[in-house]
């Protein structure tokens, strides 16, 4: 029997055009080394409590974010990061009166987990322990039952469940505070980064042009943190190219993976058909 761990967080569930969630997965045997090295980054950077993407508004937290990106690439053989995002103006979400974003988040978590775990971890007799951020608007008990018994109401029509998902054994879901389960902070970082790349693509390109001295770059005042976050996105894009990860950015106007088996994987939800609509409040 092999034990696996998952840590997750979501970004902008109740506001903004783009929403997203991230899942960080690893074997239990690698937890100590990853946590210890991650906590060293925070300690050396003077971060007393926890890192959050929303705090990237100054040089201090921008420095930490860049260190986390370097850490992830250095430890790429020990962990995987999957991010699912969705566009609330697409055919699935727009025009749905009384849309229930919390219920929709549950479905997206189910979709992310059922696809990511089944694709990445196919070892028989493996047990999973999942630590989501406790602030997320999810009924974890209900979601846990859906994953455990593979019985989500929409599983047959909507999720196109992988046959390998039946081999996943979820032992427990424990909503946790990110300073007690620090790898949740990596999930927060990547959920925020990928959503930002789609929501602020034009801002990122403007910052890129301004740093390169382009004469025709658009000059505008940026809200606190947007320049710092844009520079982080540009650095991450360069690292993806340097490591040949097949992560698109310019052509898709946001981070998108073409190699789902790479240690980082980002994709945007696409409706399965006219019947695929976001849930609404009764």
Give tens-digit pLDDT for 183-216: 999 999 999 999 999 999 999 999 999 887 654 4
| Cα four-point dihedral sign 70, 75, 77, 80 | negative
Burial class (CB in 10 A: 0-12, 13-18, 19+), 103: middle
DSSP string for 46-95: T-SS---GGG-SSHHHHHHHHHHHHHHHHTTTT-EEEEEEEETTSTTTTT
3-class secondary structure, 268: strand
The residue segments making up the domain with residue 58 are: 2-194+257-268
- Looking at every residue in the chain, the average pLDDT score rounds to 86
Q: Which two tokens stand for residue 18?
A: 């783009």
- Residues 53-66, mean pLDDT to the nearest whole number: 94
Asked if the model's pLDDT at residue 269 lies above 60, the reply is yes
Query: Taking Cα atoms as reference points, which of 191, 256, 170, 198 lies closest to residue 9?
Result: 191
Of 8-22, 76-90, 155-169, 217-231, least confident by mean pLDDT is 155-169
In a domain, 228, yes or no: no
Q: Report pLDDT digits (tens) over 210-231.
A: 887 654 455 566 777 999 999 9
Measured CA to CA, the distance from residue 21 to residue 108 in angstroms comes to: 8
Name the residue with tokens 């790898």: 183
CATH classification at residue 169:
3.30.420.10
Asked if the model's pLDDT at residue 12 lies above 50, the reply is yes
Q: Which two tokens stand for residue 106?
A: 């549950």
pLDDT for 151 equals 53
Say if residues 28 and 4 touch (Cβ distance below 8 Å).
Answer: yes
Measured CA to CA, the distance from residue 165 to residue 238 in angstroms comes to: 34
- Prediction pTM value: 0.90
In a domain, 222, yes or no: no
Q: Residue 269 CB: number of other CB atoms within 10 A? A: 20
Q: Which residues pair with 172 in a beta bridge?
A: 129
3-class secondary structure, 234: helix
In a domain, 66, yes or no: yes
In a domain, 277, yes or no: no
Of 14-18, 37-41, 254-258, least confident by mean pLDDT is 14-18
In a domain, 280, yes or no: no
Query: Taking Cα atoms as reference points, which of 205, 207, 250, 248 lies closest to residue 225?
Result: 207
Q: Which two tokens stand for residue 61?
A: 């937290």
Q: Report pLDDT digits (tens) over 146-187.
A: 776 655 554 444 445 555 566 667 888 999 999 999 999 999
Total of domains in the chain: 1
In a domain, 173, yes or no: yes
Burial class (CB in 10 A: 0-12, 13-18, 19+), 90: middle
Could you tell me the pLDDT band of residue 135, with boundaries at 50, 70 and 90?
confident
In a domain, 211, yes or no: no
199: left (phi over 0), alpha (psi -120 to 50) or beta: alpha
Q: Which two tokens stand for residue 47?
A: 């971060």
């Amino acid at each position: 029997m092999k034990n696996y761990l998952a840590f997750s967080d979501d970004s902008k569930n109740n506001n903004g055009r783009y929403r997203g969630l991230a899942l960080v997965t690893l074997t239990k045997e690698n937890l100590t080394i990853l946590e210890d090295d991650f906590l060293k980054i925070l300690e050396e950077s003077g971060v007393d409590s926890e890192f959050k993407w929303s705090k990237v508004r100054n040089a201090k937290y921008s420095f930490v974010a860049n260190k986390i990106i370097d850490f992830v690439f250095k430890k790429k053989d020990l962990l995987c990061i999957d991010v699912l995002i969705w566009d609330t103006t697409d055919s699935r979400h727009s025009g749905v009166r009384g849309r229930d974003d919390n219920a929709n988040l549950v479905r997206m978590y189910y979709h992310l987990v059922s696809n990511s775990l089944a694709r990445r971890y196919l070892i028989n007799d493996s047990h999973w322990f999942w630590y989501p951020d406790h602030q997320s608007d999810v009924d974890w008990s209900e979601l846990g039952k859906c994953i455990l018994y593979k019985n989500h109401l929409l599983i047959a029509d909507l999720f196109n469940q992988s046959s390998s998902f039946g081999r996943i054994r979820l032992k427990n879901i424990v909503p946790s505070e990110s300073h007690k389960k620090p790898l949740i902070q990596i999930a927060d970082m990547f959920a925020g980064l990928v959503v930002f790349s789609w929501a602020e693509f034009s801002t990122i390109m403007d910052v890129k042009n301004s740093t390169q001295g382009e004469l025709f770059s658009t000059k505008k005042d940026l809200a606190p943190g947007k320049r710092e976050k844009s520079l982080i996105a540009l650095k991450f894009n360069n690292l993806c190219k340097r490591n040949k990860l097949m992560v698109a950015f310019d052509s898709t106007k946001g981070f998108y993976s073409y190699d789902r088996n790479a240690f980082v994987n980002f994709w945007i939800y696409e409706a399965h058909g006219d019947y695929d609509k976001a849930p609404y409040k009764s």
